Structure 1
Amino acid sequence: MPDSGTVEPVDLAAPGLSLRPWRVTDTPGVLTALTDPATARWNPQAVTDEAGAAEWLRRRMDADDGAISLAVTDTADGALLGAVSLHHIHGEDAQVGYWTTAAARGRRVATRAVTVLTGWGFDRLGLHRIELCHAVPNVASCRVAERAGYAAEGVLRQSHRYGDGRRYDEHLHARLATDPPPTL
């Protein structure tokens, strides 16, 4: 895939989940999720109102940025459970990101979504290495990384400013296309 090429929309499935392109109708769910204090702390998107949520969605729906961003929904009722994305795609390398709604926490939604999108990135985009970074105090994201088969590689010192405005050390995890996939 070219460094800044267009990624075609995709629909993926994980056990109990649908990973699909974002829709304008997701605006209320995005607003609720990104204004939740637990989500807002670890996400630098300053979404505080419906207009901000709509702008957040517009950027995610823009396929010309070379990233893939998907809504994660419940297959049973279509409820928005989170987001998952591959971004900073350069050659055979990329980064994965995600968040979950309050209702989805503790259900391994992020693990399933990250695992499926990672496999798709290896198989369909020809990626070789995908990195996952999270703030060291974000223990839940460390569990997601480990369960999704991302090996811990080190600590990046004060490498990212998060939603609370502070810079944090981050754990760097990565999966290679040659690593065995985790069991969902």
Structure 2
Amino acid sequence: MSISAPRTGPRPPADRRAFVRTTLDLGDVLLRPWGREAAESDTVLDGLVAAAADPMVALWNPFPATDRSEALAWLDSRDAGWDRGAGASFAVLTATDGTLLGSVTLRWVDRADGLAMIGYWIQPAARGRGVATRATAAVTDWAFRTADARRIEIAHAVGNEASCRVAHRCGYLPEGTLRDSHRFGDGAYHDEHLHARLATDPQPAAGVHVDMPGP
């Protein structure tokens, strides 16, 4: 994996736990910071609208993007997170033509303590190819190496078994069940499985591909 920083854009807060806009190159897949620059591509905007309407994304990881204007507002919120160094939201794109495959978002839960949380969603056409696992693992490693993250958590609905598999494959160990923890896209509160990975944990085995129907 190679890492490159953009040449332009707002400078984040100068502290060791700031997420700094970076592109992660996985070869056939690129992870690029979400933000207003993505609005230059109608294809990406339309991809966001399509993803928000997908039943699995709408259930397990809903976000407001029923049209291009809402997608733009969502991109503005991603930009704001990067500007503060508090959130790192990546578009997962094909390296060849920039097709939108999904998204990975990392945010501080307790910045002073080095505690963060990560989440992800994948477009239907990209599922079953290990994209979520590779992207999540790459962002996890990047946060440990460059932002002094101490602990990163994944919380997913108990019913979202695919997300659970991704967490395991990325080295996030199960730590228990959170009862009625989060209200999901169906309007109901669901129990969640909590997984976590520490900066001191060993690297998980590489090269694992999983089916990824959600979130």
TM-score normalised per structure 1: 0.92
Look up the match of 1:36.
54
- Equivalent position SS for 2:73: helix
1:130-141 residue pairs with structure 2 within 5 A?
130-141=152-163
Superimposed CA distance per residue, residues 92-138 of structure 1 (whole angstroms, 9 cap, x where no aligned partner): 11000110101111111111001000000000001110000100000
Matching of residue 64 in structure 1 with residue 83 in structure 2: yes
Quote the offset at 1:29 in angstroms: 1.0
Instruction: Calculate the TM-score normalised by the size of structure 2.
Output: 0.80
More displaced stretch, 39-48 vs 123-132? 39-48
- The sequence identity of aligned pairs, in percent, is 48
Matches within 5 A, 1:3-82: 7-22=19-34, 23-24=38-39, 25=41, 26-62=44-80, 63-65=82-84, 66-82=86-102
CA–CA distance in 2 between the matches of 1:117 and 1:100? Answer: 15
Question: In the alignment, which residue of structure 1 is the partner of 2:132?
Answer: 110
Q: Deviations over 1:48-82 (max 9, x none)?
A: 22221121111112223410101001123321100
Question: Rg: which structure is higher?
Answer: 2
Q: Which runs of 4+ in 1 moved over 3 A?
A: none
Gaps of 5+ in 2: 1-12, 208-215
User: Which residue of 1 is the match for residue 117 of structure 2?
Assistant: 95
CA RMSD of aligned residues (A): 1.8
**Equivalent residues, number:** 183
Q: Distance in 2 between matches of 1:88 and 1:153?
A: 19
The aligned counterpart of 2:183 is: 161
Q: Which residue does the alignment assign to 1:123?
A: 145
List gaps (5 residues or longer) in structure 1: none
